[in-house]
Amino acid sequence: MIIAKTVAEVRSQVREWKKEGLTVGLVPTMGYLHEGHASLIDEAVRQCDRVVASDFVNPTQFGPGEDLESYPRDFDHDCQLLEEHGCNMVFHPSVDEMYPDGNGKTDTYIEILDDMPRQLCGKTRPIHFRGVCTVVGKLFNIVTPDKAFFGQKDAQQLAIIRRMVRDLSYGIEIVGCPIVRENDGLAKSSRNTYLSEDERKAALVLSQAIRMAEKMVADGERDAKVILDAMTAHVEKEPKAKIDYISAVDGVTMANVDKIEGNVLIAMAVYIGSTRLIDNCIVNA
Ligand code: AMP
């Protein structure tokens, strides 16, 4: 596997592949990789001739007081996992390589101006999706992939990237991949490493509430409030949990819905101790 640290290295390698007529898949990540990330690499390997993963903790998507400095990092382990899953190149740039103005700052952003990035996670993380769109847009320009792979785990991010690709005419196919979970249901996340043993147990309320919502919809419940109230009551039974949001939104626009009709995203963010975890499901009715 090629380890590229500069934009120039990525460009020249991708140019070679494209000359040979090979298709290129991109899997953007912030590193500290686990089986969730590996499932995206596997899907990219299935669908593309060559696979590039990016491994970069992107400063522009972290707000003040968030975990930019403490975000877990283990590049050697990441390389091992990527290589085992057949990734051809990892792009691991410095902050200055990605943001030449220095200190992870930029004056040029990609930002969706309507409500979409201000719903759900955007309520408490107002600059988050502007940073995500900007870094993903840069990665698209650097790697010029045919396809890019994102996890349903970050459902709002996936919807926003699809919108960005449509609005800015990126000729890139966005592939969404299902949430990978631990055996007991907890959605895999790099941030799970922050949890103490007790918090790890408490964190199960998220996936339990998601399963509860899926079952209620399967049993015929169509009133979003009834479902969200049941989820809220379940999470509130756990003293270590503090709800950021539990919402039902349109799967494309992220606007709140009252009725479960068509493609609905039921999504939640909950603090377990000081760790903010997210989970979600898509329901169709
Ligand atoms: P991150 O490194 O957290 O920025 O995630 C990089 C990509 O991996 C994103 O597209 C995530 O949605 C995806 N991802 C993270 N965790 C999971 C998971 N448990 N299952 C599926 N995809 C995931």
Percent of the chain with pLDDT over 90: 100
**Residue 131 has what pLDDT?**
98
pLDDT at 10: 99
Q: Which residue has the tokens 């593309």?
A: 48
Task: Note the pLDDT tens digit of each residue in 66-91.
Answer: 999 999 999 999 999 999 999 999 99
Q: What's the pLDDT band for 239 if we cut at 50, 70, 90?
A: very high
Ligand 1 proximity of 30 Cβ (cutoff 6 Å): yes
Q: What is the tens place of the pLDDT at every residue in 138-183?
A: 999 999 999 999 999 999 999 999 999 999 999 999 999 999 999 9
Active site residues: 37
Q: Quick one: pLDDT band at residue 232, thresholds 50, 70, 90?
A: very high
Instruction: Name the residue with the closest Cα to ligand 1, atom 12.
Output: 151
Q: Find the farthest-apart pair of alpha carbons in the chain and give their distance in angstroms, rounded.
A: 58
Q: What is the reported pLDDT for 238? A: 98
Quote the pLDDT of residue 109.
Answer: 98
Q: Residue 148 pairs with which residues in a beta bridge?
A: 26, 174
pLDDT reported for residue 141? 98
For residue range 10-55, list pLDDT tens digits in order: 999 999 999 999 999 999 999 999 999 999 999 999 999 999 999 9
Question: For the chain, what percent of residues have pLDDT higher than 70?
Answer: 100
Q: Which of 74, 153, 158, 164 to mutate to test the pocket of ligand 1 (most atoms within 8 A of CB)?
A: 153
Query: Can you give the pLDDT at residue 23?
Result: 99
pLDDT at 59: 98
Instruction: Band the pLDDT of 273: cuts 50, 70, 90.
Output: very high
pLDDT of 66: 96
Give the pLDDT score at 186. Answer: 98
The rounded Å distance from CA 104 to ligand 1 centre is 22
Is this structure's pTM higher than 0.75?
yes
C-alpha of residue 153 to centroid of ligand 1, in Å: 6
Strand order from edge to edge, sheet including 147-151: 2-4, 89-91, 50-55, 24-29, 147-151, 173-177
pLDDT at 121: 98
| Residue 54 beta carbon below 6 angstroms from any ligand 1 atom | no
Tell me how many degrees the CA angle 220-225-230 measures, rounded to the nearest 5: 80
Q: Give the pLDDT score at 252.
A: 95
Give dist(CA 186, CA 192) in Å, integer. Answer: 9
CA atoms within 13 A on the CB side of 110: 19
**Does any ligand 1 atom lie closer than 6 A to the CB of residue 71?**
no
Closest ligand 1 atom, residue 32 Cα? 2
- Average pLDDT along the chain: 98
Question: How close is the Cα of 55 to the center of ligand 1, in Å?
Answer: 12
User: Separation of 165 CA from ligand 1 center, angstroms?
Assistant: 19
From 35, 37, 133, mutation site for ligand 1 pocket: most ligand atoms within 8 A of C-beta? 37
Identify the CA nearest to 264 among candidates 230, 219, 214.
214
Residue 188 CB–ligand 1 contact under 6 Å: yes
180 lines ligand 1 (CB under 6 A): yes
Cβ of 91 below 6 Å from ligand 1:
no
Quote the CA–CA distance of 208 and 195 in Å, as a whole number: 17
Judge if the beta carbon of residue 151 lies within 6 A of ligand 1: yes
Confidence bin at 246 (pLDDT 50/70/90): very high
**Ligand 1 centroid – CA 106 distance (Å):** 25
Please work out, in degrees rounded to the nearest 5, the angle formed at the alpha carbon of residue 109 by the alpha carbons of 276 and 50.
80
**pLDDT band at residue 125 under the 50/70/90 scheme:** very high
In the chain, the DSSP E strands lie at 2-4, 24-29, 50-55, 89-91, 147-151, 173-177, 241-250, 263-272, 275-284
Cα–ligand 1 centroid distance for 186 (angstroms): 13
pLDDT at 183: 98
